[in-house]
Amino acid sequence: MERNIKLVAMDLDFTLLDDRKEISEHTREVLKEAASRGVHIVPATGRVFKAVPEFLRVTEGIRYYILCNGATIYDRAEDKVIYTNHLPKETVFQILDVFDKYDCTEDIYRNGQGYMEAKYRDNLSYYGVSGPMYDMVLRTRKQVENLRRTIEEEPSGIEKTQGFFRSEEEREQCMRELKALNIASVSSSLFNNIEVNMFNCDKGDGLEHLAAHLGIPIAQVMACGDADNDTMMIKAAGLSVVMENGAPKLKEMADFITRTNNEDGVAYAIEKFVL
């Protein structure tokens, strides 16, 4: 069946990136080949732009980025934000009130920068943050003395708030409590985190807005993901691809289950459906 895919959106962690947070030379070549044929290659991530691996920030043919789970869409070629869906200060404080009840970190992403207090930033390993993720968090979180005061000083542009949890049981309990408030979009991308965005803000919303901006029918959009925060993007795309290492409930929604993130799964799907 000819699908004529014009845009490929892909999650990063455990989807495009392997367990070392890298991509193979083969995957690089596949992305470049697709881009050379006029296909938009779009990272769709929970990260801010500066936390996107450098090789994806400078690769020719990658222009648009869906960031912070759809809270911001960035056009690198014109160095401008083309869509935002940000949290109001009052909602952020309600979320932090819930986080305060649990043994977890607290941070916010605002206008492309992460902010975190020293008591969390200096103790990431206690919360199970390790390896490349540990390095990435340190690199992308600006240390502040008081997070709430930082928000009060500049309340606009808050893309996401997040917590890393020491206990899986507490994480599940906190997620239930946040969802019950019905004030924000609650998801997770890692085994030990919770990510909270503006209500109705998710990668699916971001993907639909970007496709409309580019004049591409959603039927000609392919999305690749693995985790809970990819759910709405997988639902929205005309062609949904889930990694073999993806969450079971996400795999049930997939049009196609590709290879794992350590086996060039995204490249395999692009070769099959785009090239």
CA distance 90 to 206: 23
**What's the farthest any 2 CA atoms get from each other in the chain?**
56
Does pLDDT of 57 surpass 80?
yes
Sheet bearing 107-110, strands edge to edge: 141-144, 113-117, 107-110, 158-164, 193-198, 184-187
| Nearest to 245, CA basis, from 235, 258, 236 | 258
Q: For 153-167, b where at least 16 C-beta lie within 10 A, e where not — what string? A: eebebbbbbbbbbbe
Q: For 249-273, b where at least 16 C-beta lie within 10 A, e where not — what string? A: ebeeebbebbebbeebbbbbbbeeb
pLDDT digits (tens, 9 = 90+) for 196-227: 999 999 999 999 999 999 999 999 999 999 99
Does pLDDT of 1 surpass 70?
no
Q: For 112-121, b where at least 16 C-beta lie within 10 A, e where not — what string? A: bbbbbbeebb
CA distance 235 to 230: 9
pLDDT digits (tens, 9 = 90+) for 108-135: 999 899 999 999 999 999 999 999 999 9
pTM for the model stands at 0.90
CATH topology of domain 89-198: 3.30.1240
> Residue 242: left if φ>0, alpha if ψ -120 to 50, beta else—which one?
beta
Write down the domain spans for the chain. 7-85+202-273, 89-198
Give the mean pLDDT of 72-99. 97
Does pLDDT of 255 surpass 80?
yes
pLDDT digits (tens, 9 = 90+) for 58-82: 988 999 999 999 999 999 999 999 9
pLDDT digits (tens, 9 = 90+) for 22-32: 999 999 999 99
Contact 137, 128 (CB under 8 A): no
pLDDT in the model for residue 263? 98
What mean pLDDT, rounded, does the chain reach? 96
| Dihedral of the alpha carbons of 168, 106, 177, 10, in degrees to the nearest 10 | -70
Contact 87, 184 (CB under 8 A): yes
Helix (H), strand (E) at residue 55: helix 54-58
Domain range 7-85+202-273, CATH class: alpha beta
CA distance 192 to 227: 12
Q: For the chain, how big is the Rg over CA atoms in Å?
A: 18
pLDDT in the model for residue 2? 61
Paired residues of 186 in beta bridges: 196
